[in-house]
Structures are given as structure tokens and as C-alpha cells.
Structure 1
Amino acid sequence: MSVLSNFPAIPNRVAIACEYLHFLGSKGDLRENVEKQLSPLKKGGNEDSESQDGKADGRTIAGFVVDEILKLGLSSLDEERVLRLNDEYLCMQVPEGDWANALRPILMAKLVMPEHAEKSDQSSVPEALSWLLVQDPYSTLPFSGGIHAEQIVRQLGQQDALRTIIGNNQRFQNLIYWARYLGLAERVSLKIGASSADIVIPDPTEALARMLPSIFVDQRELSIQAFMQRAAEYCPVLDGGVARVRLEDRLMGDFEPKEGHLSRSTSLALFRLQARKLLRLEKPSDAQARILDLGKAHEPVSHVRYTAPEAA
């Protein structure tokens, strides 16, 4: 079980559980007591209303969330069943008590880096996120209805493991909750006449925006190759990253990546970051370029310049 198959274990619930354990301090409390105190979690009513609610197999939602924070290495359980937040998180400074934001870089590393994901029993998450980022942001991907499963079959084949990992609606929706939290996707509600529908847009803009100070730590301008290499080191589900390459090696036929092109999701993110005036995308005439694929438009880019105010 991972955050994809443990339906109650969505980001806001993980953050609430960690916040409460932080409040308890180093003494912690019996797991049973912690779950009782977190029992309001089973009342849901937020963005995960289509996920598993109430009790499952005689257990509360809080119990499933505790399972996941243990696997993620955020907390530990001793022989007397006392549950504590691990020391490195007990000493965290959390501005304005925003645990969801404070945990984001920690959970990002645990869920997108294959070596960390494997240690946390989340080995299926990097490839699922990689698959999501291979999808076309200019083509409708419904939040529910099973269209994603059909796309997995077309792109990877009926027998591919990903068909089981995120093939059903609940697992796919948990993937989207986590992708959105990590800044790798958006979920948008569209109203068409009297009906409405939620769609998913693979878009790593927010994740890349948070990485920019680290990517440009020693330079304000990088070649597009160096930029993408550094981005993929921080987030291996992006173009060129270890997890992404493993997924792309399984794509069939027309779905294989085009040589010299960035994926549409990464191209969209770079375009949006330039619109925010965080980056400037440049193409000197004598430099090697990569092609941004913006759907109907294709733009060559050879260098990326960091233009955020703090970079000046």
C-alpha cells in the first residue's frame, strides 16, 4: 500500500497528523489515543469527498493515515505502541503553523526520487507521476470516468503494471491529490451549459518555481540542457529524470518522446514561468536548442535566465 492505494492518506490529513504529533512533543502518546484525537479526520467533507470515508475494515481513517506517516518515515512507533514524530521533524520551524507547506519539500523527495520512494514503500509513485507528466496538458483528461485507464493501455499496453497501480478511479484521484500538492498538476472545474466536469492538467509550474533558487544557486543563466539536468536531479519525474526515463522507455509507438523536444507539460511550465517574469527563455543563433512544444506552437530555446527579483 502507498499513498496511491491508501485512499484516506491525502496530503492535508498527513499534515494534520504530523501537526498533532508535533504538539505532543517528544513524549508522544499511545497510537490508539492519537487515532482517537484525530478521529475528526473521518468526517472529511473536503476535496477528497470521493475517497474512502468513515471506517474501512473496522478502522478509522486516522488509522490509515498513521500507517502512511509511519511508512513515510515521519513518525515512529515503539514497543509500547507509543507514537512519536521523528526527531528531525520535532525540531522543525513551521511558519504560521502551515504544516502542509512545511512538509512539501520533505514529501517531494520521498515521493519523486526512486531511491527514497522505495525506502518508504512508495516505489510506484514516481512512475505514476512520470506517466501523468507525459500526458498532454492541451487534451482533456477527466478527473473521473476511467479515461486515464484507456490511455494507459494505449500508451503502455494492457499488461503494464501501471494499469493496476492507478487504473481505477480512486487510485487515479489519489495520484491527482498528491500531484497537485507537489505542484505537478492542476485540477480545474469546467462548467458546460447545465453540467460541470473536473479535468486534470499535468503542469509542473509550481514545482519548478519552488526549485528555481536551487537550480540557479551559482549562476543566473544556464543552457537549457544544464537547466533541465538540474531540474531532473531535484525532481526525477521531470524530463530526463531517472523515474521519467524508466517510464518513457515503456511508451509505445507515437507516444515515445520526440528527440530534441521537451514534453508539453514541461514546455507549458517554462512558458508560464516566463509569463510570471521568473525566467527568460532565450535562443542565441549559434547555440544548441531544445524545442518547447506548446501544442500548436513550437519554440526553440537554448538558454534559461533567472529573472526573479531576488535573483538580481
Structure 2
Amino acid sequence: MSVLNQTSDGLFNVLIVLVRALVRFGPKGREDLLLACGAAADAFDTSQLTRTLNRWTELGLFGEENGLVIIAEPYRSALGKNAEGAENRLPKVARTVALQSANNARFWESEEAKSADLSRGVAWMLAQDIYTLDANSERLADLEGRQLLDSGAQKIAQNNTRWNGLKTWMLYLGFARDGVQWVVDPTQALRETLPEIFGSNPELSAPAFMERAAAVLPVLDGGAYRVQVEGALKESARPKLRAGLVSSSLSRAIQRLDHEGSIALSNRSDPEGVVTLTGSNARTWRDVSHVALAQTGKAR
């Protein structure tokens, strides 16, 4: 069981169809749900519907109640009662499900790993110098082999199919963006978790912001999954950031959120210290002591 092999693990666009059907029509028997998703259409291949439903049931997004397929709580409430709204909220919900500790307990194992392959892959991608990273699948596989301490026992992704699956899921879950080319960029994921990071606090010290972000998104700097991945890499294979430096991936996201007005960065004297945003080759951008959450309607 995994997520990245799209042929056998399911597709995000099929997940959207399943969720929209359950939100629109409510709990349904398995066969009725598949029919509601178009399984009766001529030449329709139901295998991806079945595989996606199975995978995300195993991960806990879907459940069963009185013989009917349901969206499990708390995800049903988070998605809401409108199909359009549910589709818009699904990336955040799916990200939450995939990053749950229960779905990553067998972190380096190839069997019954649940969504650990996705978490490993995202954490590894975010740990790279995103300005020099070549996202070609063969180049990524070569880089993985050069960086891992024990490439025989530990894998990030195993083949081109999984690298392509990783890049596809990173786009959908807000850890990358696609334009002229595919690039690592966790801005969307970070933006959508700002309420959880700040809680009732209008402002946090920069170190506290980093700590809370890592707790909500454990693939970011200092997060549980990121630490496991970085611990499996050769120090000689990649530049090691000194304490206080923020990775290029997270620096990009923080800088973009500041520019768009979702957050406001400042640097003033504070006993809790500062963090330093970085670019390519750990080139320093700016020091940040505090991060404030922009008030609704006050984005610059």
C-alpha cells in the first residue's frame, strides 16, 4: 500500500470525483457510488475509481457506516455540504490525511507503508536547493542515489512512475507549482495552514512560527518527517544549513506570502532570536524576528 504508484494507488482527479459524489448525494453503497461517478458509461474503466476509493479508505478519508461509504469525520465537516466548496477544500484535507502520523508509522518500509512514500518524497524535495534542482525523473533518481547513506535499505522513490506520481501529488497538495516548468514551492500548503500555525496569536516570533509550521506540516524544516529524511542523507552530498537558516523552499514560500500580504515579516530586537531566509547555495536574503498574520481584507 502506497500513494505514488498512480496506476495501482489511485489518482487525485478520481479522488475529486469520489468526494464530490459523496458530498452531493450523501452516503452510498459502494456500487451505487461507483455508478454515481460514471461507472455505467460505455467503455468506462472503473479500476481507478476502485483503487482510489480503496487507497483513501485505508488512509482514513473514507469509511463505512451501515454498509454505506461515507466521508469520515472530521473530514466530512471540513469539506462542507457543497460539492464545489468541497473540491476547493479537498487538497488541504487530503494533505492532512496523508501527513497523519498513523499513515507514516512504517516510514522507510516498502510494504504497508500507507502514505509514507509521499511524505518521504515531499520532505526530500523540500530539503533540496530548489534553484538548482533538476526535476527530470532520471536526474532525481541519480541525485537520490548519491545522497542516501544506504540506498539499498532506504528509498525516496523507486522508479520513474513514482517520481512522476510524486510531482503530480506535490502540485495538487500545494508543495509545487507548474507553469513554464515544474518547480518546488510549498507556498500554497503553507498559506492554507496559517490559521493552524497562528491559532489565536496575531503575531509569532520567527522561531515560534518555524516550530509551529513544522508541527502542522512535518515535511518542512524541523518537521518529524523532514528530520528522518535528512538523517538518512550523506552530509557531503548536499550543503548543510547552519542553525537559524531557513531552507530555500520554505524561504520562497515565506517570502511569497509576505509579498502577497498574507503575512507580514519584520526584524526587530527580540530575545527569542531571528531566522534567516535563504536563496540558492544558502545565499542569505533577510533576517526575520517576527511573523504577523494579515487581517482579513488587509492583504497588501
TM-score (norm 1): 0.79
The answer to whether the Cα contact below 8 Å between 1:289 and 1:301 also exists between their aligned partners in 2 is yes
- Percent sequence identity over matched residues? 29
Are 1:148 and 2:147 counterparts? no
2:171 to 180, 201, 204: 180
The letter for the 2-side match of 1:136 is: D
1:136 aligns with 2:137: no
Measured against aligned partners, the alpha-carbon deviations of 1:116-153 in whole angstroms (never above 9, x if no partner) come to 444982233222211111122212422x4411111111
Contact residue 186 and residue 201 of structure 1 kept, 8 A = yes
1:3/1:9 contact within 8 Å kept:
yes
Which residue matches 1:271? 255
Show the counterpart of 1:49: none
Residues 107 and 16 (structure 1), Cα distance of their counterparts in 2 relative to 1, 3 Å cut: same
Aligned-pair CA distance for 1:37 = 4.8
5+ long unaligned stretches in structure 1: 44-53, 190-198
**Mapped partners of 2:221, 2:194: distance in 1:** 16
Identify if the C-alpha distance between structure 1 residues 300 and 183 changes in structure 2 by more than 3 Å, giving closer, same or farther: same
Cα separation, 2, equivalents of 1:41 and 1:242: 44
Which residue of structure 2 lines up, in the alignment, with residue 3 of structure 1? Answer: 3
**Aligned to 1:111, which of 81, 93, 98?**
98
* Residue number in structure 2 paired with 1:76: 63
| Structure 1 runs, 4 residues or longer, greater than 6 Å off | 40-43
**Aligned-partner residue type, residue 276 of structure 2:** I
Q: 2:10 corresponds to which letter in structure 1?
A: A
Name the residue aligned to 1:244. 226
Q: Deviations over 1:224-250 (max 9, x none)?
A: 110011111111111111111111111
Distance in 2 of aligned mates of 1:309 and 1:160: 50
Contact 1:113 1:236 in 2 (8 A): no
* Separation in 2, partners of 1:206, 1:87: 24
Instruction: Give secondary structure in 2 for the equivalent of 1:84.
Output: strand
Q: Following TM superposition, by how much is the alpha carbon of 1:162 offset from its aligned partner in structure 2, in angstroms? A: 5.1
- Given that 2:175 and 2:185 are in contact with CA atoms closer than 8 Å, whether structure 1 keeps it comes out as yes
* 3-state SS in 1 of match to 2:201: coil
How far, CA to CA, are the matches of 2:222 and 2:248 in structure 1? 14
**Closer, same or farther: CA 224–87 of 1 in aligned 2, 3 Å:** closer
Question: Aligned pair in 2 of structure 1 residues 219, 268: CA closer, same or farther (>3 Å)?
Answer: same
Match of 1:221 in 2: 203
Paired letter, 2:126: L
Root mean square deviation of aligned Cα: 3.1
Structure 1 position 123 matched with structure 2 position 122 = no
SS at match of 1:222: strand
Alpha-carbon deviation of 1:83? 4.8
Change (3 A) 1:121 1:42: farther
- The aligned length equals 284
> Which of the residues 152, 156, 162 maps onto 1:171?
162
* Higher mean C-alpha deviation, range 120-129 or range 260-269: 120-129
For structure 2, the residue ranges without an aligned partner over 5 or more in a row are: 107-112
- TM-score, with structure 2 as normaliser: 0.81
Task: State the one-letter code of the partner of 2:235.
Answer: G
Contact 2:277/2:285 (CA < 8 Å) preserved in 1? yes
Q: Which moved more, 1:82-91 or 1:4-13?
A: 82-91
Query: Could you tell me how far apart the structure 1 residues matched to 2:40 and 2:259 are?
Result: 39
Whole-Å Cα distance in 1 between the matches of residues 153 and 40 of structure 2? 32
Aligned counterpart, 2:290:
303
Q: Classify the secondary structure of the residue corresponding to 1:240.
A: coil
Letter in 2 for 1:148: L
